[in-house]
């Protein structure tokens, strides 16, 4: 459902509701709209795949078949960082859409960067956009933010384990 062309001078692809629909259907963002269980499963699959590929490539590069705790810790830290970057990307995309949906005014470009305009939404359009923003996008942002906090905590725990294990490696007590 796009805006009425008579009431909205904003180009079709710059209308917040259409930007929301496009983002919701994009490959990276579509699975973040699923329920929490599927969202966590996808993140866990990404984490495991990156960790497994990292361990295999580390063993190949180091030309050893001996799996040490350090290889596991390094790859776990790397995989957690990749998941955090992915969550940051999801958060930035959805927060941009939320800002556009909840804003009473929309800045848009008619044909290029040099001729931007400002459009004030009508009450009906503003109400519709804010409802979508508050009931569709804001819960996604909350889930992404909470997941990021948990992943960051795990990252800190693994980093702490690395520092504790490296003290024993170098004989530092």
pLDDT tens sequence across 48-59? 999 999 988 988
In which band, very low, low, confident or very high, does the pLDDT at 86 lie, cut at 50, 70 and 90?
very high
Q: Residue 104 is inside which H or E element, if any?
A: none
What's the CA angle centered on 60, arms 55 and 66, to 5 degrees?
Answer: 70
User: Cα(124)–Cα(144) distance, rounded to whole angstroms?
Assistant: 29
Look at residue 142 and tell me if it is in a domain. yes
Residue 1 domain-assigned (yes or no): no
Residue 68 tokens, joined: 């040490």
Residue 173 tokens read as: 């007590």
Total domain count for the chain?
A: 1
* Residue 2, domain member (yes or no): no
Categorize the per-residue pLDDT at 136 as very low, low, confident or very high, splitting at 50, 70 and 90: very high
pTM of the model: 0.87
Cα three-residue angle 22-23-28, rounded to 5 degrees: 125
Give the model confidence (pLDDT) of 32-85 as tens digits. Answer: 998 999 999 999 999 999 999 998 898 888 887 777 888 888 899 999 999 999
In a domain, 93, yes or no: yes
Q: Per the domain annotation, does 5 fall within a domain?
A: no
pLDDT score recorded for residue 25: 94
Tell me: the pLDDT tens digits for 109-125?
A: 877 767 788 899 999 99
Residue 7, domain member (yes or no):
no
Classify residue 112: in a domain, yes or no: yes
User: What confidence score (pLDDT) does residue 173 get?
Assistant: 44
Q: Domain range holding 116?
A: 12-170
Residue 25 lies in a domain: yes
């Amino acid at each position: 459902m796009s805006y009425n062309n008579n009431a909205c001078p904003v180009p079709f692809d710059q209308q917040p509701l259409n930007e929301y629909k496009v983002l919701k259907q994009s490959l990276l963002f579509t699975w973040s709209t699923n329920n929490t269980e599927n969202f966590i499963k996808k993140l866990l699959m990404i984490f495991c795949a990156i960790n497994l590929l990292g361990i295999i490539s580390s063993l190949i590069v180091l030309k050893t078949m001996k799996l040490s705790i350090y290889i596991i810790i390094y790859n776990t830290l790397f995989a957690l960082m990749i998941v955090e970057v992915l969550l940051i990307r999801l958060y930035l995309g959805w927060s941009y859409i939320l800002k556009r949906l909840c804003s009473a005014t929309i800045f848009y470009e008619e044909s290029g960067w040099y001729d931007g305009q400002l459009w004030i939404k009508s009450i009906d359009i503003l109400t519709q956009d804010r409802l979508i923003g508050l009931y569709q996008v804001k819960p996604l942002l909350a889930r992404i933010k909470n997941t990021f906090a948990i992943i960051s905590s795990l990252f800190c725990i693994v980093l702490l384990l690395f520092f504790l294990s490296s003290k024993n490696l170098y004989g530092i007590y």
